[in-house]
Structure 1
Amino acid sequence: MCRWLAYTGSPVLLDDLIYKPTNSLVVQSLHSRLGAEATNGDGFGVGWYDEHSPTPGVFRSIEPAWSDRNLRELAEHVRSGVVLAHIRATSGTAVQQTNCHPFRHGRWLWMHNGLLAGFSAMKRDLVLAIDPELFPLIEGSTDSEILFYLALTFGLEDDPPAAVARAVGLVEQVGRTHGIAFPVQMTVATSDGARLWTFRYSTEGQSRSLFRNADVAVLREQYPENPVLHDLADSTRIVVSEPLGDLKGAWHEVPESSCLVIEDGREELQPFRPAA
């Protein structure tokens, strides 16, 4: 499948997030510990927000993250307080730039790990449910982008948890009509630049891995000799497909069937259930 991270906190260089950690995304692109595949080399992408524009910047490439020199250059110069980064392992759709995450619509970013099982059978029904005004904006061929546009259709910009619940509910409904037992496997991150929502859910109740960082102030007390922790603000929140390092107690698993909402360093964990 894929691996991703979502960061919100004081502005940091992309390099600090995607290269420097012991088990960074770039390391995971070659040697994922918890992913469905050890190698995630079918492209990557990074999206970030800054003070220059309400629309986030996006850089996507079909090159493997471990070998892309442009990513290295970018990472050493771009600084942001909200970052979404993704490395891709395709579940069958083409390796092309428009299929790389994160996807963008206006001020919104979206990325997904997992798959919609039986997508080829469901695709026509799902696409026809997308708002006709949004349909021309779809650029790629992935199930992840279709799920994004379904969420936009159902009101992502007004109420993300409700919109994602309706989108997932529709996929499961369509899946049942096609005899697909477990249509949805997902961890999702989406942001408008001010808030971050992450979701962990699968129809079968065995979702892909997802973790959040422990409170930085507590970690700083436990590990006073660790210089990395002194560089992070107390409001720092990171949600990842798998931990970025081996520091004991630094990572907590996000529960199955849940939505984690983060704003200004505050977290709210909610149950997530698809809506009919």
Structure 2
Amino acid sequence: MCRHLAYLGEPLAPGAVLAEPPYALVHQSWAPRRQRYGTVNADGFGLGWYADGDERPARYRRAGPVWADEAFADLARVVRTRALLAAVRSATAGCAPGEAAAAPFTDGRRLFSHNGALPGWPAAYGPLAATLPAAELMALEARSDSALLWALVQARLQAGAELGEALADTVREAAKYGPARLNLLLTDGSSIAATAWGDTLFHRSGPGVVVASEPYDDAPGWTEVPDRSLLLATPAGITVHPIDSPDA
């Protein structure tokens, strides 16, 4: 599985939401509280963030566990950002290891993460992969289920879909091929889209908006997103919509 988090709001140091809270994402890399599949997220991690005046995000990704990376601790302390997406990885069997397989994935101004798995990967999802042109498959950043899902999302975005539409349509399509777990997280630096499909997802507002696999503290205000839902968030507010089953 994995754990991930996105933030929008006033400038802050990434560590304020990723490291300092008692059950922050760094803590979730070795002791998640709500994770339904897997126990440790030590197969890589990544942080993507936006600097004022530049819509294209920066990324810092590594193949090892986040708790062992001193450079990440410094970066998370001194950088300031109005928007970020971060993830810690528990690799799916059959998926490639390494930094290239760690979220967030990026394209232009967008950052993407997948919390979940495609059981039976890769054989069961060959027909899903075949819906993409061969050139796009050869250009995948990593040989992994998450990279394939990102390519499917990208194809929809490039065809003109909005963030939420691209995620929901990808989830519906991927769910046709097996009991997939498809918690997807996507931001363009000014809004967030996320799906809850097979694992936990929470949100909290004020100050800023946080969307996360699980709460990073026990303070009030966290709201769980129902399974099979699409969340859309901006600093102005959050809406949640059901995702119809692909069999409906």
Equivalent residue number for residue 154 of structure 2: 152
Asked if 1:261 is matched to 2:235, the reply is no
Equivalent residue number for residue 122 of structure 2: 120
Higher Cα Rg: structure 1 or 2?
A: 1
C-alpha distance 274-141 of structure 1, shift in aligned 2 (>3 A): farther
Quick one: which amino acid aligns to residue 28 of structure 1?
Answer: Q
Q: CA deviation at 1:13?
A: 0.3
Q: CA deviation at 1:169?
A: 2.9
CA distance in 2, matches of 1:67, 1:129: 39
Q: CA deviation at 1:149?
A: 0.8
Q: 1:240 aligned to 212, 218, 231, which one? A: 212
Quick one: which amino acid aligns to residue 86 of structure 2?
Answer: A
Q: Which moved more, 1:9-18 or 1:164-173?
A: 164-173
Encode CA deviations 1:219-240: one digit per residue, 9 max, x unaligned.
xxxxxxxxxxxxxx3xx11111
Q: Does the 8 A contact of 2:200 with 2:227 survive in 1? A: no
Using the size of structure 1 for normalisation, the TM-score is 0.82
Q: Which runs of 5+ in 2 are unaligned?
A: none
Q: 1:106 aligned to 93, 105, 108, which one? A: 108
Q: Does the 8 A contact of 1:131 with 1:153 survive in 2? A: no
Quick one: which amino acid aligns to residue 170 of structure 1?
Answer: E
Quick one: which amino acid aligns to residue 209 of structure 1?
Answer: T
Q: CA deviation at 1:261?
A: 0.7
Q: Which runs of 5+ in 1 are unaligned?
A: 202-206, 217-232
Quick one: which amino acid aligns to residue 161 of structure 1?
Answer: G
Q: 2:188 aligned to 172, 186, 192, which one? A: 192
The structure 1 segments of at least 4 consecutive aligned residues displaced by more than 4 Å after TM superposition are none
Q: Percent identity?
A: 29
Q: CA RMSD of the aligned region, Å?
A: 1.9
Q: How does 1:1-276 map to 2 (within 5 A)?
A: 1-35=1-35, 36-92=37-93, 93-131=95-133, 134-155=136-157, 158-173=161-176, 175=177, 180=178, 182=179, 184-201=180-197, 207-213=198-204, 215-216=205-206, 233=207, 236-247=208-219, 249-273=220-244
Q: CA deviation at 1:170?
A: 2.6
